[in-house]
Amino acid sequence: METQLKELEKSAVSEIEKISSLEDLKNLEVKILGRKGELTGILRGLKDLSPDKKPIMGKLANDVKTHLEEEFRLRMERLEHDAIKKSLSVEFFDTTIPPKTKEIGHIHPLSQVQEEVERIFSQMGFAIMDGPEVESEYYNFEGLNIPKDHPARDMQDTFFVQDKNDPKHGRMVLRTHTSPVQVRTMEKYGAPLRVIVPGRTFRYEATDASHDTTFYQVEGLLIDKTISLGHLKGIMKEFLSRLFGKEVKVRFRPGYFPFVEPGLELDFSCLLCEGKGCRVCKHSGWMEFMGAGMVHENVLKSGGIDPKKYQGWAFGFGLTRLVMMRYGIDDIRLLLGGDLRFIKQF
């Protein structure tokens, strides 16, 4: 009997291995382990054995059964796995069909960059300020140390508004820069001050691919007791590096703006060539970015701040230019053109 059992075990194992369909495997299982199967057939002889052999054979038969059941289970798993695998390999699936999405809208690139700028400056402790777009000559010019007949007024061709005249504030203009908010903020909050003012500005100049009547600027103002030009370098380097997501260098050049003294222009290292010189930076290695300087004492006085106690700097850069630079936009008029083929790209 022992031989029979061993034989059965051996032949069954080899048969199981040969089987390649689930159905055949089930049939084989019935044939060998079923109620009328071969193993049962052999076990019928158990009753004829001597009492001392019975338990030994019984255990052996049980071991064989357990072993074979395990073999069947493993084979079964294998075959099921193969079957799934096979079904997967034959299934046709086109991954190139365009996606089904609910079309989401687009936020204008000016808004996107503006938010980024506001976020970075907020993180550096700057408050975000606002001021009127239709502004008095006083705040737009005189308050900023740009008296009447000053040649600097040439630099800012101005839109004037009809029939508005005030003895103190002069005529009314569309603000030519965000700088009027400097004086307004000083008047309202006093020193110390740490603010930026992003906003819409206007220039009376003919439009072309790089000039528009309407554009956006960001004004910055930091006033406290010991604020220096070194801090301006620090803040701008940090801001630009965060904005562009890489280490950016900044440099100062002398520049002239009546509301600052010393007056500066700030350049940053060309993002493309990193200072080596390329077409984008006109081979200088630097990109012109903004005007800045230490706030002129007359401006501090206009804002009611004592220049003996407080000092600080101001800057103004073109948000519109930044947007154009970032996305490679070559025509400024697209920004306020309302063409959705443009806006949907952002």
Partner 1 sequence: MLVSLNWLKDFVNIIVNSEKSSLNKVVVGYVEKIEKHPNADRLNIAEVNIGTEKVQIVCGGVNLKEKIYVAVALPGSVLPGNFEIKKSTIRGVESNGMICHLSELGLAKNDGKHEISIIGKAAPGTPFVKTLKIKGISPEDLRDLLTLKTAEVETIEKADKYLQKVVTGKLLDFEKIPNTKYHHKGTVDIGGKIIQLVFGSVHVAEKGWILPIALPGAHLPGGEIKEAKIQGVLSQGMICDDSELGIQNSSNGLTVFPEGTPLGKPIAEILGIDDFILEFDNKALTHRPDLWGHYGIAREIAALTDTKLKPYSPKITVPKIGETAKVEVKDFELCKRFCALIINDIKVGESPEWIKKRLSATGHGTHNNIVDVTNYVMTELGQPMHAFDKEYIKTGLIVRRAKKNEKIISLDGKERILDEDMCVVADHEKAVGVAGIIGGENSEINDKTTSIILEAATWNPSILRRTSVKLGVRTEAVQRFEKSLDSAWGELAIKKAAELILQLCPSAKIAGPMTDIKKPDLDKKPVKITLNVLKAKSKIGTDISISEMKNILEKLEFKVTTAGKSSLLVTVPSFRATKDVSNEDDLIEEIARLYGYDNIPTVLPELPTKLPMENPERFKKHRTRELFSYGLGFDEVYNYSFYGKSDLKKSQIPDSHHIKLLNYLSEDQTHLRISLIPNLLKNLELNVKYSGEVKIYEIGRTYKEVGQFMPLEEKKIGGAVLTKKKTDEVFYEAKGAIESFFDKFNITYKAVKGTENAPYAHPVKSITYLAENGKTLAQIFIAHPEIIKAYGLEKYSVAMFEINFTESLKLEKRGKTYKKLPRFPGIDFDISVVVQKNIEIETLENAIMDSNKSLITNVDLFDIYEGPNVEKGKKAVAFRITLQAQDRTLTDQEMLEVQRKIFSNLESLGGTIRGKN
In the window 10-69, what residues touch partner 1 (CB under 8 A)? none
66 or 345: CB nearest partner 1 = 345
- In whole angstroms, how close is the CB of 119 to partner 1 at the nearest point? 9
In the window 179-198, what residues touch partner 1 (CB under 8 A)? 189, 192, 194-195
Of 9-17, 73-81, 86-94, 231-239, which part binds partner 1 (CB under 8 A)?
A: 231-239
Are 259 and 179 in contact by the 8 Å Cβ rule? The answer is yes
Q: Which 3 state secondary structure label does DSSP give 185?
A: helix
d(CA 106, CA 112): 10
Of 17-25, 48-56, 63-71, 334-342, which part binds partner 1 (CB under 8 A)?
A: 334-342
- Interacting residue with partner 1 among 148, 279, 328, 330 (CB under 8 A): 148
39 or 199: CB nearest partner 1 = 199
- In whole angstroms, how close is the CB of 228 to partner 1 at the nearest point? 3
Backbone phi and psi for residue 16, each to the nearest 5 degrees, phi listed first: -55, -45
Q: How far, CA to CA in Å, does 40 sit from each of 45, 259, 280?
A: 9, 107, 89
Q: Where are the alpha helices (DSSP H) in 19-52?
A: 22-33, 38-43
- Interacting residue with partner 1 among 274, 297, 301, 325 (CB under 8 A): 297
Are 292 and 313 in contact by the 8 Å Cβ rule? The answer is yes
Q: Which residue has the tokens 């075990």?
A: 9
- 192 preceded by a cis bond (ω within 30 of 0): yes
Q: Which of 229, 230, 239, 217 is nearest to 125 (CA)?
A: 239
32 or 217: CB nearest partner 1 = 217
Indicate whether 226 belongs to the interface with partner 1 (CB under 8 A).
Answer: yes
- In whole angstroms, how close is the CB of 312 to partner 1 at the nearest point? 9
- In whole angstroms, how close is the CB of 9 to partner 1 at the nearest point? 58
Indicate whether 155 belongs to the interface with partner 1 (CB under 8 A).
Answer: yes
Q: Which of 310, 306, 316 is nearest to 181 (CA)?
A: 316
For 74, other C-beta atoms within 10 Å of its C-beta total: 11
- Interacting residue with partner 1 among 15, 38, 187, 238 (CB under 8 A): 238
Q: Which 3 state secondary structure label does DSSP give 255?
A: coil
- In whole angstroms, how close is the CB of 103 to partner 1 at the nearest point? 6
In the window 98-117, what residues touch partner 1 (CB under 8 A)? 102-108, 110-111, 115
For 13, other C-beta atoms within 10 Å of its C-beta total: 13
- Interacting residue with partner 1 among 15, 33, 49, 132 (CB under 8 A): 132
Q: Which of 322, 266, 268 is nearest to 293 (CA)?
A: 266
Which amino acid type is present at position 26? K
d(CA 140, CA 164): 15
Site string for partner 1, 252-271 (x = CB under 8 A): xxxxx-x--xxxxx------
- In whole angstroms, how close is the CB of 321 to partner 1 at the nearest point? 15
- In whole angstroms, how close is the CB of 125 to partner 1 at the nearest point? 5
In the window 206-225, what residues touch partner 1 (CB under 8 A)? 206-207, 213-214, 222, 224
In the window 300-319, what residues touch partner 1 (CB under 8 A)? 311
Question: Binding-site residue total for partner 1 (CB under 8 A)?
Answer: 89
